[in-house]
Chain A
Amino acid sequence: MSQLLILAAEGEAENPLIPPIPELVIGLLAFVIVFGFLAKKLLPNINKVLEERREAIEGGIEKAEAAQTEAQSVLEQYKAQLAEARHEAARLRQEAQEQGAALIAEMRAEGQRQREEIVAAGHAQIEADRKAAASALRQDVGKLATDLAGKLVGESLEDHARQSRVIDRFLDDLEEKAEATR
């Protein structure tokens, strides 16, 4: 077996740096196949797609930028609206407060007025009652006094007119005395 290998070594007198023509041809052919496919079809294909992708990405960035500016403007609009709404709410609250205060004041005034009315009516009623009571009392007192005087004097003071005058004069005196002592 080793003899075969020795034979092999002897058989290889060829210089490994001298290329055989058929190998050169096949090498060229093999490379031309690769170069042909890649240069003519496959690399232009991928270049086109890479270009498309680049454009798509740039387009996407532009879109995103547009969306962002829109979002920004919407946000500002929203903020303005919110501020306006707050302002409006404050105004309404202020107004309501004012209205409430006015209402309370009005109610108070009305209550005051009603109270005064009631008090006045009460006073008038009392006055009327007092007067009625006074006149009734005067009559009763007069009658009582007449009766009493009649009994004491023993004669009936028939004469009504005279009787009445005397009583009135008496009462007036009483009133004057009461005024004076007050």
Chain B
Amino acid sequence: MSADPTQVLAFETDCHIFDGCGFPAPGLHSFLFEPIIGHQDDAIYFNKTMLLALLGSIVVVGFFWAAFRKPKVVPGKLQMVAEAGYDFIRRGIVYETIGKREGEKYVPLIVSLFFFIWMMNLWSIIPVAQFPVTAIIAYPAVLAAIVYILWVSLTFKRHGFVGAFKNFTGYNKELGPVLPLAMLIEFFSNLLVRPFTHAVRLFANMFAGHTLLLLFTIASWYLLNGIGIAYAGVSFIMVIVMTAFELFVQALQAYVFVLLTCTFIQGALAEHH
């Protein structure tokens, strides 16, 4: 395993400044893991990200299982915390965007999405794991695809074929001669770009966050020689600052993802004028 370059961690290289070796900068290779089972090129394999994804879902289910399995009218501490989270998503996001009457049906989906994404993001700063699952495009892509399918099917169900087409293209007679162009752009933006940006927004944020953390962590180690020690200290402070910042970004990106989901659902349900 140690033969695989992707598994070499910065502190394992024992490479420092002034030792005549270059800075082991983080890159795309930092986001690839030698599979635990099988090989990267096989049809079936199992790697660290997959393990973290499954573990994360177990953590989320476990948390809510412990809190809501036998809920009490007078809640305990854990139930109160879980209820606060649940209530935040339900009232703060779903009811606010879709409305209470129509939104109620989508509460489980939105709650699941939020806590799942948050957990996947949180792996980034949990010791030993230290990798955000959502920095691998496959995971945001799956979630964005679920939302996309729901959104498109809801639009067709609510408005019929022609209505859905008008909805997708933002049909508006007042635009006059620019209408075909506007419709083309809207169609392109809604049906093709939207799911892509939805997934990439989450992916890129976590990817960038992880890269920054890696950069400062590796630098802290790399600079740990001679006069570099002072710079290593600064770099280490940045590691702590960035960790705190990531903690914020992780929750924010999960929030943004579900908020956009709610906006899409609301758009599908809204009457088109």
CB pair B8 A19 closer than 8 Å: no
Given known contacts A9-B27, A46-B68, A24 and B141 CB-to-CB distance under 8 angstroms: yes
CA of A48 to CA of B146, assembled, Å: 27
Given known contacts A2-B24, A5-B8, A37-B65, A29 and B54 CB-to-CB distance under 8 angstroms: yes
CB pair A16 B31 closer than 8 Å: yes
CB pair A34 B200 closer than 8 Å: no
A-chain residues with CB within 8 Å of residue B61 when the two chains form the complex: 33-34, 37-38, 42
Dominant SS among interface residues on chain B: helix
CA of A34 to CA of B113, assembled, Å: 9
* A153 CB, min distance to chain B CBs, angstroms: 141
CA of A17 to CA of B141, assembled, Å: 9
CB pair A43 B107 closer than 8 Å: yes
Stretch at the interface among A49-57, A108-116, A128-136: A49-57
Most chain A C-beta atoms within 10 Å of own C-beta, residue among B6, B31, B83, B108: B108
Given known contacts A5-B13, A38-B64, A42-B65, A31 and B116 CB-to-CB distance under 8 angstroms: yes
CA of A7 to CA of B137, assembled, Å: 23
Q: Judge whether B244 is part of the interface by a CB distance below 8 angstroms.
A: no
Given known contacts A1-B13, A1-B15, A33-B57, A16 and B137 CB-to-CB distance under 8 angstroms: yes
Chain A residue with Cβ nearest B143: A31
CA of A157 to CA of B168, assembled, Å: 176
Q: Which of A5, A19, A39, A53 is in CB contact (< 8 Å) with B136? A: A19
CB pair B109 A39 closer than 8 Å: yes
Q: Judge whether A11 is part of the interface by a CB distance below 8 angstroms.
A: yes
Q: Which of A17, A29, A35 is in CB contact (< 8 Å) with B112? A: A35
CB pair A8 B109 closer than 8 Å: no
CB pair A2 B56 closer than 8 Å: no
CA of A12 to CA of B72, assembled, Å: 52
8 Å CB interface, B24-50 against A: 24, 27-29, 31-32, 43-46, 49-50
Q: Which 3 A-B pairs have the closest CB atoms?
A: A8-B5, A19-B138, A23-B138
Interface of B with A (CB < 8 Å)? 5-6, 8, 13-15, 21-22, 24, 27-29, 31-32, 43-46, 49-50, 53-54, 56-58, 60-61, 64-65, 67-73, 79, 82-83, 86, 107-109, 111-113, 115-116, 136-139, 141-143, 146, 200, 203, 207
Interface of A with B (CB < 8 Å)? 1-2, 4-5, 7-9, 11-12, 14, 16-24, 26-31, 33-35, 37-39, 42-43, 45-46, 48-50, 52-53, 56
